[in-house]
Amino acid sequence: MFVPSILQHRSCRLSCSLFVPDTFGVLCWNVYKQNTKHPGFQPFLQRLTKEQQIDFLLFQEANFREDQHFILPDFSFDAAANLEIRGEFYGVLSASRVESKSAQAYLSEGRESLIGPHKSLLLSTYHFEDGGTLLILNIHAINFRENKHYYRELERFLELIKDHEGPMIIAGDFNSWNKRRLRRLHEVREALGLTSVPFEQIDKVKSFMGNHLDFIFYRGVELMNFSLHKYHKVSDHHPLVAEFRKIG
């Protein structure tokens, strides 16, 4: 249960694009395991992806199976499981209209408690038509452990991606629910040269004691627009959307 029989999952349909468009949208959302169970999830997502240009869907606490295509036909997905219950897997899932060129799943070194599950993260890359590479890290950070465990996991993903020189998106539920966690998160962000999409300008970002939990960080691309969508009744987190443009 707490150590999935299959860590990394993938489903790619033939309709996937080969290249990231020069202008692309990213949605980040902790879906609270409701993406295959809540009757309103698929209609909400279909409507949202028609209203806005969204090319990447980065879910945390997603539900998926090895033999299961993504719920939207023009998206493929890669996923990293941290939990398995009766043949169903849960973890982070990165769906895209663009075929991933590589994807690597990781489990956190620490567990959520002494006997609880690890957390998962997924590192994937996608190509622009000019040969450049976009790196995306989808993360659900460790929650119910001491700050020192949290810091250790931040250092780990810093080590995983520090050598990438091109455009980068890091997004997810960072469980940054106290000031020390939040400060260390932004120190790591600055070390990577990343900018935070300013969702603090919008009300209703998922927070605890005034500390935001969900973020989209970026570098090597230009932020064009951003929004939050709260009328869904699916999860206690709200989907964050950011639109970017390739530089150069």
Query: What's residue 1's pLDDT?
Result: 59
The CATH number that applies at residue 32 is 3.60.10.10
Q: Report, as an integer, the average pLDDT of 160-179.
A: 94
Region 25-52 average pLDDT = 93
Phi then psi for residue 113, to 5 deg, are -155, -175
Q: In which band, very low, low, confident or very high, does the pLDDT at 3 lie, cut at 50, 70 and 90?
A: confident
Looking at every residue in the chain, the average pLDDT score rounds to: 91
Domain residues for the domain of 201 are: 8-246
Strands (E), the chain: 8-11, 23-30, 56-64, 76-85, 88-96, 102-111, 118-127, 133-140, 168-173, 195-196, 207-208, 211-212, 214-219, 221-228, 240-246
Report if residue 2 sits inside a domain: no
| SS3 assignment, position 49 | helix
* Residue 1 lies inside a defined structural domain of this protein: no
Domain membership flag for residue 223: yes
Considering the domain boundaries, does residue 213 fall inside one? yes
Q: Could you read off the pLDDT of 172-198 as tens digits, one per residue?
A: 999 998 999 999 999 999 999 999 999
| pLDDT at residue 144 tops 80 | no
In total, how many domains does the chain have?
1
Is residue 131 one of the residues assigned to a domain?
Answer: yes
pLDDT, tens only, 239-248: 999 999 999 7
The answer as to whether 3 is a domain residue is no
In a domain, 192, yes or no: yes
Give which of 60, 247, 75, 236 is closest to 138, Cα–Cα: 60
Q: Is the pLDDT of residue 87 over 80?
A: yes
Q: For the residues 86-107, what does the mean pLDDT come to?
A: 94
Q: Is residue 157 included in any domain, yes or no?
A: yes
Residue 169 has pLDDT above 80, yes or no: yes
Q: Can you tell me the distance from the alpha carbon of 77 to that of 86, in angstroms, rounded to the nearest whole number?
A: 21
User: Average pLDDT for residues 11-21, to the nearest whole number?
Assistant: 84
